[in-house]
Structure formats: structure tokens, C-alpha cells
Structure 1
């Protein structure tokens, strides 16, 4: 049993698990911020622009049921904002990965004076042996 607990402890304290937990916490906080932006800023302004409609109170009555279309529209706007931000984050991370993956272009350095002289000597000796 202690092997199982050790394995679980190793799993729980690995960087990936901690990173995931931090991501979930930050995501929840970001979701709250987006909710506030949509509910308190965007939707009231959009409501004013289209004639003073309060989206949170926009309801369609179907028989006894109330279809809260305004809350659905708010949810769609929130999703769109969060999806766009996540898209931009992933796009930025991918661009960083591409930059890191680029291999430096190797340039051949110009030959030194000694290399040039040795090449000339080699060529001269070859020319003498051909005659």
C-alpha cells in the first residue's frame, strides 16, 4: 500500500499537476472577469444601441415555459471572448515554440591566411606531380 501512496504523492507533486491546478484557478478567475465585463459593460451598451433592451431580462414565453434567450446570448458572448483570448494565448505560445525551434544558420567562416597558403601549396604540388 505504501508503494501506491508514494506513487500518488509523486504524481500529485509533479509540475504538470501543479500547473494544471494553477491553470484551473486562473481560468475561474478569468471567467469571473469576463462575466463581469459581458454582464456589466458589453450587454448594457449593446442593449442601449439596439433600443434599450435588457438582455438579462429578455424572455420568450412558450406556453408555460420561459425561454431565457437573453441569458443564452450573454453566455455566447462570454464563450466567444474566452475562446478568442485562449486562441491568442495558444497562437503566442506556438510562435514562441517556432522561434525556439529555428536552427541557427551555420555560416562557413572565411579561410584563414594559413589555410589559403596551405591550399595554394597543395594545388602547386598536385600540378607538379601531373607534369
Structure 2
């Protein structure tokens, strides 16, 4: 059972997933700090010093803190947009690399085709000289 678990845990996909979760958590903390410490104070200033996290109302004995909910939505939107920009940039780089590789393969194919044409022409010349 131990060896079976070890082979399961050490498969490439599991390790890649663990790395992704760790990096994602760290990235989330960075973006959360960006939102809480930089973006939201600026938005608060633009809105006349409004701080979303302090928005609330009392309903009976309960205090409904809808400002924290608004803050969480803003955090989500900024994190989602940041991830979108990162993935978009990575996709552009990947497409550029694939285009370069395709171009190199095409050039290699053209060079190989040219070489084959030269060999064909040489063989034709040899056949004509032998006749």
C-alpha cells in the first residue's frame, strides 16, 4: 500500500498541481495586498473617502457587513483580471514561440527540399552521361 501511495503521490501531475497551488496561494496574497493596501484606498479617495469594509447596517440584533462583501467581490474581480492578464501574456508568448518553431521547421523543410532537388538533378545528369 505504501509503494502504491508513493507512486501515486510522485506522478508528474500531482507534483505540478501542488506547485500550482502553492504559487497560486502566494500570488493571491500579493494581489490581496495590492487590492487592500493600494487600490482600495485610491478608490476610497476617489469616492470621497468611502471605505467599503466599514459599510454595514443593523437588522434586528444582527449587524450585516455588506461592505466586506463588496470588498471581497472587488478582490475577486481584480484577482481574476490579473490571472487573465498573466495567462493572456503566456499564451501570446507560446503562440510566438510556436510560430518561430513552425517557421524554422518550414525553413529546414525548404532546405531539405532544395537538397533533394539537387540530388535529383545530379542523378538525371548521371543517367544522361551513362547513355
- TM-score with structure 1 setting the length: 0.70
Could you list the runs of 5+ residues in structure 2 that have no partner in the other structure? none
1:57 to 54, 59, 78: 54
The structure in which a higher percent of residues are helix is: 2
1:67 aligns with 2:61: no
- Secondary structure of residue in 1 paired with 2:114: coil
Matches within 5 A, 1:1-131: 4-95=1-92, 96=94, 99-100=97-98, 103=102, 104-105=105-106, 106-107=109-110, 108-109=113-114, 111-112=117-118, 115=121, 118=124
Q: Distance in 2 between the 1:54 and 1:83 partners?
A: 22
- TM-score with structure 2 setting the length: 0.70
Q: Aligned in 2, Cα 1:17/1:114: closer, same or farther, shift over 3 Å?
A: closer
Bigger radius of gyration, 1 or 2? Answer: 1
- Secondary structure of residue in 2 paired with 1:52: coil
Kindly state the Cα deviation for residue 97 of structure 1 after the two structures are TM-superposed. 6.0
Residue 128 of structure 1: aligned partner: none
More deviation, 109-118/67-76: 109-118
Q: Distance in 2 between the 1:89 and 1:53 partners?
A: 30
- Secondary structure of residue in 1 paired with 2:49: coil
Q: Aligned in 2, Cα 1:100/1:66: closer, same or farther, shift over 3 Å?
A: same
Q: Distance in 2 between the 1:52 and 1:114 partners?
A: 80
1:34-67 deviation digits (Å, cap 9, x = unpaired): 1111111111110111111111101133444333
For these two proteins, the number of residue pairs brought into alignment is 120
- Secondary structure of residue in 2 paired with 1:61: strand
Q: Distance in 2 between the 1:43 and 1:88 partners?
A: 20
